[in-house]
Structure 1
Amino acid sequence: MNIRYVRDTFANLWLDPGKVREVDRPSLHCPMDRETWLAMGTENRLDLVGRLESQVLYGAPVQVMEEREGWVRVCVPGQFTPKDSGGYPGWIPASQLTFDREYHQAWETSPFAWVTADRSRLLLDSGEEVELSFMTRLPQVGERDGDVIVRTPGGETGRIPAEEVTVARQLPVTGVEARIRTAERFLGLPYLWAGMSSFGFDCSGFMYRIFEANGIAIPRDADPQARYGQRVSKEELAPGDLLFFAHEEGKGAIHHVGMYIGDGSFIHSPNTPNPVKINRLTDEPYHSELCWGARYQGGESFT
């Protein structure tokens, strides 16, 4: 199996290299010019639909399927999708991926330092800094002076403030209240199509990370999230359940997901003009498009 690891804050997963626009060029380098790329206007953000598929965080593995002209076609283990049994498929610039044998071995066996702060900074031994997203995980190799020491995909070690990470091979399943508190920390964060980082989430990416942070694995996209959880009717909704919204007044294709937080309200990452927010189920178009909910409690199988 040909595995590589992401060596930037995050790597974009593109549908097709031929669909990358000029405005996306700052995101193709390593390190990417993240601030310039994220500063694109609303029209360009809307135009990411049909171009960008998902994102992969710093240090995470991808399985290489093909290489072509500076690009690598990969599958992303852990981002479950019916599109490919190996994980979410797409293209990443080759420069944003690397392989170090010691890192690979540590990834397979060591406890992880999970970034549970909204964001953090990794200080490499070389003096370079890497900004880290919420839910970045790196193999932990020690502790020193209030920092967690981690191994990095480039073969170095580095330091992350201990108060900004949780060290565990797998994060424990927490209660519903913790899940809701985690989600509420991101109120106001801008929406980003295909976003999987705390620099911008799409609707299903937001839910994926919130559940992951609380020890529960769910599929990557809204439609499989709706199909693989325990189905819950509108009348049976409980806090912590996912809510799904569909075209044709709730009878068509699912296009949106949020999380019920009780008292007729839900939290979600709505769309490009609107950041993470809380809405009422009586608000339109959500009232007419709500189709059902899904409950995940940990341990679900997606095969």
Structure 2
Amino acid sequence: MEIRRVIVPTAIVWAAPTKLKAAQAYLKAPDITTWLAQLSTADQEALASQDVIVTQALLNDRVILDQVKGDWAHVFVKRQATHLERRGYPGWVPLTQLSADDQELDYPTTTVRLVQAQTSLLDEQGQTVAQLPLGTVLTTTGQDSQQIQVLTPLGAGKISAQAAQLTVGGVNDGDRLLALGREFLGTPYLWGGITPQGFDCSGLVYALHRALGYAIPRDAQDQFTNGYPIAPEALAPGDLVFFAADHGTGTVHHVSIYAGKGQMLHAPKPGESVTLTPLCRVPYAAEYVGARRFWQ
């Protein structure tokens, strides 16, 4: 079993090596924010309806290399649990976005999770190497009150100590999940997205839990299957609310975060952005299938 690491801030994981026009535009200039802003709503809807993107992986995430096909690698993203494959979320990434190996350190280390929307990774001379998104997990080798020393597939570097300090409060992690989620209101929708550059519904939920240290499945159906059931009358901020086809009797297709007072925070669909919506609004009220909790 060969292990590699992601060497770009955010790697899009594709369903297959793709020649879709929108995908090719990204591969020529892989800046997700710029690329997404240039996509039409029709392009975004095509990415979703054709299931072109399956997920994303972040810098330093470990993947299992399954096979190589030309310039592409089929991998399993180890940090993202799914019923599709026990080894991790399956998909394709360009070989250029993976390390040549998985170098392990010979001494004990700790890790740090980035909880800010964006964090500058600096090299040892203090020059910016990359901008890292929420949820990135890095190996640490030391820190002081100002900076944390880290090791990455790009080499040794440092980040601001504030990057790992949660600035939202609350009486429990449910409150903190919701408060962190509110910081991303207005973030554009991206099918398969798990970063503040663009979220899909389950990607938003996954990213917020990951930032707070909770390992939950990547997709809505798996989140529904694995979470702790919560009755409607017991809903609390931070709980996950799920919706299914066929008036709540079919496959789970959407997830949101309960925001209190009958509202939910979610990433609705292509062309829209993270927003607050009443639970009673059409079509959600008729498709409610249940609620789950991971934070307690």
Structure-2-length-normalised TM-score: 0.90
Distance in 1, matches of 2:102 and 2:78, equals 18
Tell me how far 1:238 sits from its aligned partner.
2.7
C-alpha change, 1:41 and 1:149, in structure 2 (3 Å) is same
Tell me how far 1:20 sits from its aligned partner.
3.6
Partner of 1:96: 97
Tell me how far 1:109 sits from its aligned partner.
4.3
Q: Which deviations, in whole Å up to 9, do the C-alpha atoms of 1:83-127 show, x marking residues without a partner?
A: 00001000000000004554x338x94212221111111122474
Q: Which deviations, in whole Å up to 9, do the C-alpha atoms of 1:264-291 show, x marking residues without a partner?
A: 1111111112211111111111111111
Partner of 1:219: 217
C-alpha change, 1:124 and 1:237, in structure 2 (3 Å) is same
Partner of 2:169: none
Partner of 1:256: 254
Q: Which deviations, in whole Å up to 9, do the C-alpha atoms of 1:17-71 show, x marking residues without a partner?
A: 0x34233234336x83334422222111111121110000111111101111011
SS in 1 for 2:285: helix
Q: Which deviations, in whole Å up to 9, do the C-alpha atoms of 1:235-273 show, x marking residues without a partner?
A: 332322210011122122111000112221111111112
Tell me how far 1:7 sits from its aligned partner.
0.8
SS in 2 for 1:181: helix
Partner of 2:77: 76
One-letter identity of the residue aligned with 1:122 = L
Is contact 2:14–2:53 with CA below 8 Å preserved after alignment? yes
Partner of 1:7: 7
Partner of 1:113: 112
C-alpha change, 1:191 and 1:149, in structure 2 (3 Å) is same
Percent of pairs with identical residues: 33
Partner of 2:282: 284
Distance in 2, matches of 1:27 and 1:140, equals 32
List 4+ stretches of structure 1 deviating above 4 A.
none
Is contact 1:114–1:166 with CA below 8 Å preserved after alignment? no
Partner of 2:16: 16
One-letter identity of the residue aligned with 1:296 = F
Partner of 1:134: 134
Is contact 1:26–1:34 with CA below 8 Å preserved after alignment? no
Distance in 2, matches of 1:293 and 1:136, equals 27
Tell me how far 1:128 sits from its aligned partner.
4.9
**Residue 57 (structure 2) pairs with residue 59 (structure 1):** no
Partner of 1:41: 40
Tell me how far 1:137 sits from its aligned partner.
1.4
C-alpha change, 1:99 and 1:165, in structure 2 (3 Å) is farther
Is contact 1:100–1:153 with CA below 8 Å preserved after alignment? no
Q: Point out where structure 2 has 5 or more consecutive residues left out of the alignment.
A: 167-171
Match for 2:184 among 177, 183, 186? 186
Distance in 2, matches of 1:254 and 1:26, equals 31
Distance in 1, matches of 2:105 and 2:54, equals 29
SS in 1 for 2:185: coil
Distance in 1, matches of 2:146 and 2:208, equals 26
SS in 1 for 2:273: coil
RMSD after superposition: 2.2
Distance in 1, matches of 2:101 and 2:128, equals 18
- Report the number of matched residues: 288
